Chain A
Amino acid sequence: MFSYEKKLQYPVNIKNPNPKLAQIIISQYGGPDGELGASLRYLSQRFAMPYPELKGLLTDVGTEELGHLEMIGAIVYQLTRNLSLEEIKKSGFDTYFVDHTTGVYPTAASGFPWSAASMQSKGDILADLHEDLAAEQKARVTYDNILRLVDDPDVRDPIKFLREREIVHYQRFGEGLRLATDRLDSKNFYAFNPSFDGKNYKPKIK
């Protein structure tokens, strides 16, 4: 089960609202490489993980991503406080506003709503871990792009924290992949699927 702690993993204190930035950063809430997809990816994939280290790792990274989802929500919320209609029209935030007012909705910056098609749960340990490694890199690039577009230090600070977490998670997933392959036949990692065939399955020698 999950229980809630009433605090952010890292503080978000944004003095100046800025709807344009909110419209960019919302992509890490509900975009293709965002935190919602990340948490659902890992928390779904973990059921097919045959090894205890990987059950633990996917549970922990998936849980942390929920904390990151909350941070991105807080950033968007604080960037869209006390907006005038003039600011909304001038900034281009009007296309989001018409559907969601200033509610936080899981969508990509392009307006495409969050889709489970942006993630996979393949039921194969090697396929899933390689997806996870790629996902962390894609999220890191998205944060790099956000940092290219954002000057406000109040916004950059938590975004830099989140970017760094992608790199740490990538490192942990790399170690997880190694722990998995260490248990497999180094001459043929793909001889069987330990998630489906069972971790002690012995493939027939041809």
Chain B
Amino acid sequence: MNERQKLMARLSAVQFAAWELHMYLDTHPCDTAAYETFRKHSAEAARLKNEYESKYGPLTITGTEDADWLCDPWPWDLERSCD
């Protein structure tokens, strides 16, 4: 696993934890402890996403608009080009 893949794996893990808690909160909206854990993971996911995007290009188009958005890899690609 290269550095980019490692950061992507870390981002995905934290995003997943936040997502799982978010969905749990749909059916447990009054669980304040779960909400705090959700907020913590959510903030960490945002931080990691920023780090990833500043190093390897945009994940969403809401950031800076440039040709990097089009660069491979797309999520289903195995190889990276445009480097």
Contact = CB atoms under 8 A, between A and B. Distances in A.
Interface residues of B, number: 24
A172 B75 contact: no
Nearest to A60: B23
Contacts of B78: 13-14, 78, 81
A11 B60 contact: no
A176 B16 CA distance: 21
Contact of B75 (A6, A60, A168): A6
B23 A172 contact: yes
A53 B26 contact: yes
With a 10 A CB-CB cut-off, give which of A3, A6, A11, A73 has the most chain B CB atoms.
A6
Interface residues of A, number: 29
Interface SS of A by simple majority:
helix
A157 interface: no
Contacts, number: 64
A85 interface: no
Interface in A3-22: 3-14
Interface string B2-19: 000000110110001001
A56 interface: yes
Contact of A56 (B11, B12, B26, B61): B26
B75 A70 contact: yes
A7 B14 CA distance: 14
A7 B23 contact: no
A6 B58 contact: yes
